[in-house]
Amino acid sequence: MAPGSDLHGNYQDPVKEVQFYIMPLPLSSKNVWMVVLLSRISWTVGSISCPKECICQYLAVNCTGKLLEEFPTTIPLDTRQLVLAQNKLSYLPSLELHFLSDLIYLDCSSNTLGKDLDFTFVSMIKLIYLDLSFNNLTQVTFGTFSQLSSLVVLKLSDNPSLMEIEKDSFANNTRLRHLDVSRCSLKFIDTSTIRDLPNLRNLGLGENPWFCNCSFMELSSWLKESGITIL
């Protein structure tokens, strides 16, 4: 079904839908302000269009390899799939992402993301797929992905500066089935961080400088009995 259409495939103009509610009213000060407010809403809804650097099709926006240094600001609000791979983004603005609450697929791989991502994804409760591989992330905390309760696939591989994943980092991501932290700089990860993911099926841990102590041996032993596929 195309964006802006009803269940029967008929196109519905969002601007006209908002304007429909602007009825002729006695020009009291309260009603004048109401008309002005609705007019501003109409203009805002109508002004959202495909970013000029990207390709938009139905509910998908693809901005791959456009050398973007800033997050595109005109992404349609009903976007379900957003690909920002192979750019120069060093920061993801939480405010802009807040308005993309219908996203289920977000690919930000191969950028320069390195700043603290805590509470960046606050309103993205529908997100299922998140790719942050090939960036410069340094740590993962409870606040990084705590709002992503629907997340199924999380790719964090090839972040050479990623040295720490805190114990409860994935406490709210119990639907995770695929987690990849390969080729980072991790020396330690608490067994409970992985064990508390009941739906996990695929796990990438390879090519990290693991510190081989009792805790790591506990994790290794548990993984052998868990049935999880090691990537």
Helix (H, G, I), strand (E, B) or coil at 82: strand
* CB 92 within 8 Å of CB 108: yes
pLDDT of residue 7: 38
Beta bridge partners of 105: 81, 129
pTM, rounded to two decimals = 0.78
- Residues with Cβ within 8 Å of residue 37, at least 6 apart in sequence: none
Cα 142 to Cα 168: distance, rounded to the nearest angstrom: 6
pLDDT of residue 51: 93
pLDDT of residue 29: 46
pLDDT (tens digit per residue) in 66-89: 999 999 989 999 999 999 999 999
> Per-block average pLDDT, block size 10, for the chain (231 residues)?
43 36 41 39 49 94 97 94 98 94 98 90 95 97 96 98 95 98 96 95 95 78 90 88
pLDDT (tens digit per residue) in 109-137: 999 999 789 999 998 999 999 999 999 99
CA distances from 205 to 96, 131, 157, 184 (A): 32, 16, 9, 9
pLDDT of residue 5: 44
Cα 114 to Cα 126: distance, rounded to the nearest angstrom: 24
As a whole-number percent, the residues of the chain with pLDDT over 90 amount to 68
- Residues with Cβ within 8 Å of residue 156, at least 6 apart in sequence: 132, 133, 137, 140, 162, 179, 180, 181, 184
Cα 73 to Cα 50: distance, rounded to the nearest angstrom: 9
For 50-230, CATH number out of 3.90.1150.10, 3.80.10.10, 3.40.47.10, 1.10.443.10 equals: 3.80.10.10
DSSP 230: E
Helix (H, G, I), strand (E, B) or coil at 155: strand
10-45 as b/e: b if 16+ CB within 10 A: eeeebeeebeeeeeeeeeeeeeeeeeeebeebbeee
Report CA 161 to chain centroid distance, whole Å: 20
Q: Break the chain into its structural domains and give their ranges.
A: 50-230
Q: What integer best gives the mean pLDDT of the chain?
A: 83
pLDDT of residue 32: 40
Cα 166 to Cα 187: distance, rounded to the nearest angstrom: 12
